[in-house]
Structure 1
């Protein structure tokens, strides 16, 4: 069994093959085609396309009217130009009056792909690959900006985006999720909500029925605090297509009607006790349901396995949200 550091080094060793695969795979073919290409390049693993999340953008560079590249980094160019004008943004505007310079953006989505390493709930590799396209955006200085934010990323209006090339895939991150969660515990021994969620999955009927990575990916972040100590964050994201189903039971429901509502939700999502994990994460299920199921179990309604009742009771004594 690899240590956390060994997994980090191993994932680094996979990066060149992933970068090369991204470069030769057409975005238009879709996420399933990307997974097939990765599995051909890395035959030791069986990556599956789990989720695509879009609707975001990053600041890009600067081009002129002809599309010629002025800078690859809009923010750095603006900061240097402002320093040359002694920090006077009005002088900066005057210095570039009449120049037709355009800011660019990188728009796209993140594809999550997973591959099981072992039988553990968190024993899987997770790939994050970005689907990026650079577009020409607003014309610099045209809005007479009063602040740096208005200059580099004004809100509303502006020219319609103009694509500057075809979209492409770019590797953002590959990691072993279990190793990342171990590093979180090493930094702060008190289990975070994500650790408790993983433990609940392992102990419940959900874990017996399906792999965690079949239904969830984990968005991770790592940065240094002001004392230069690493800070880790992990947020589970359901891979369910679209929004979770509506929970069809009003407060106060118990017994057979509650059992039927739980079963409908679980069938729609695709695994047992799905309602509990969506109660913790997507808030699709209200918290009163947990109390009602335990009260039903104590009253003799045995529609949940005892291990699920134990998980829910523990949550009632020590609630958490992810």
Structure 2
């Protein structure tokens, strides 16, 4: 497997030396030189998040790369002393604006048969004054996220160019097998993968072309390391309008068929319902009522998935 031929240390080093590109061409060429018969390709990018950065002067000179470590070292927990020492220096904090790039490499016929590579792209920019509105924070946590921080943001001058940062590499089939052996507190994503395989979606589309997995490690109540996996759609299809919720019969069948076409794979409305919940649940219940009234517009395999969900519902 790719894990064995290109260990994580190699990916960390690769990310550190390759300059991000819009099509990720150089990066993909490098990893696929090692990937063999299972080449990676980019499927989706998700942004809109950031991390706390460091401290700079008003002229952009670096004071510290980490605001937290600097504040802890400078204050020893005394925020009044920190304010007294630095309030007149006109210091600014920085933030790391981030995007997560998801790359996948299919390696089998099942929905779980793919390797997922996650790479962050970070840009450090000037964020805000160190002390917002001359407020003395109660502790380091409030210094990192003070009241009014968003409103106090300054023009986001770029301090460092975009850079790749390795985030994670996971063989999803191995992940599923490991969780099956060791157990876990959240097996919803495994159920979704199994439903994909037995539905029309599994016969006509590849799961990793339409979804990636957001993987969040955590410690369970016994102190064991687990992973929470949440599917993220590659293509975002709008939720149904309020008017759609009153549809049934042929009009509803037509709406769902168009929804599937817009999403690009069969039974898309069902899998989207597991993520969006709310309005989509009403549509699922109406489809089942139509079935009981002998108005059927789902393939038998898809109807079986829906019936199982009616008896034992779940969502993310």
TM-score by length of 1: 0.86
RMSD in angstroms over aligned alpha carbons?
2.6
Deviation at 1:207, TM superposition (A): 0.6
Residue 311 (structure 1) aligns with = 305
SS at 1:286's partner residue?
A: helix
| Inter-partner Cα distance in structure 2 for 1:179 and 1:113 | 17
Residue 4 (structure 1) aligns with = none
Residue 272 (structure 1) aligns with = 266
SS at 1:131's partner residue?
A: strand
SS at 1:178's partner residue?
A: helix
Deviation at 1:115, TM superposition (A): 0.6
| Inter-partner Cα distance in structure 2 for 1:280 and 1:78 | 43
Q: Is residue 2:208 matched to residue 1:217?
A: no
**Structure 1 pair 68/210, CA: closer, same or farther in 2 (3 Å)?**
same
Deviation at 1:177, TM superposition (A): 1.5
| Inter-partner Cα distance in structure 2 for 1:180 and 1:12 | 18
Q: Is residue 2:103 matched to residue 1:113?
A: yes
**Structure 1 pair 26/127, CA: closer, same or farther in 2 (3 Å)?**
same
| Inter-partner Cα distance in structure 1 for 2:4 and 2:65 | 28
Q: Is residue 2:74 matched to residue 1:74?
A: no
Residue 208 (structure 1) aligns with = 203
Greater Cα shift, 265-274 or 10-19: 10-19
Residue 29 (structure 1) aligns with = 22
8 Å contact from structure 2 (residues 273, 281) kept in 1: yes
Deviation at 1:285, TM superposition (A): 5.1
Residue 102 (structure 1) aligns with = 92
SS at 2:212's partner residue?
A: strand
Greater Cα shift, 115-124 or 184-193: 184-193
SS at 2:88's partner residue?
A: coil
Residue 144 (structure 2) aligns with = 152
**What does 1:19-58 align with in structure 2 at a 5 Å threshold?**
19-31=12-24, 34-58=27-51
Deviation at 1:11, TM superposition (A): 6.0
SS at 2:89's partner residue?
A: coil
8 Å contact from structure 2 (residues 129, 152) kept in 1: no
Question: Which aligned runs of 4 or more in structure 1 are off by greater than 6 angstroms?
Answer: none
TM-score by length of 2: 0.87
| Inter-partner Cα distance in structure 2 for 1:134 and 1:252 | 48
In structure 2, runs of 5+ residues without a counterpart are none
**Structure 1 pair 157/125, CA: closer, same or farther in 2 (3 Å)?**
same
Deviation at 1:198, TM superposition (A): 0.9
In structure 1, runs of 5+ residues without a counterpart are 1-6
Q: Is residue 2:165 matched to residue 1:173?
A: no
| Inter-partner Cα distance in structure 1 for 2:117 and 2:18 | 15
Residue 161 (structure 1) aligns with = 156
Residue 258 (structure 1) aligns with = 252
8 Å contact from structure 2 (residues 55, 65) kept in 1: yes
Greater Cα shift, 37-46 or 162-171: 37-46
| Inter-partner Cα distance in structure 1 for 2:49 and 2:246 | 40
Q: For 1:92-148, what per-residue CA distance to the aligned partner results, in whole angstroms no more than 9, with x for missing partners?
A: 211224334332211120001111121121111001101111112223236332233
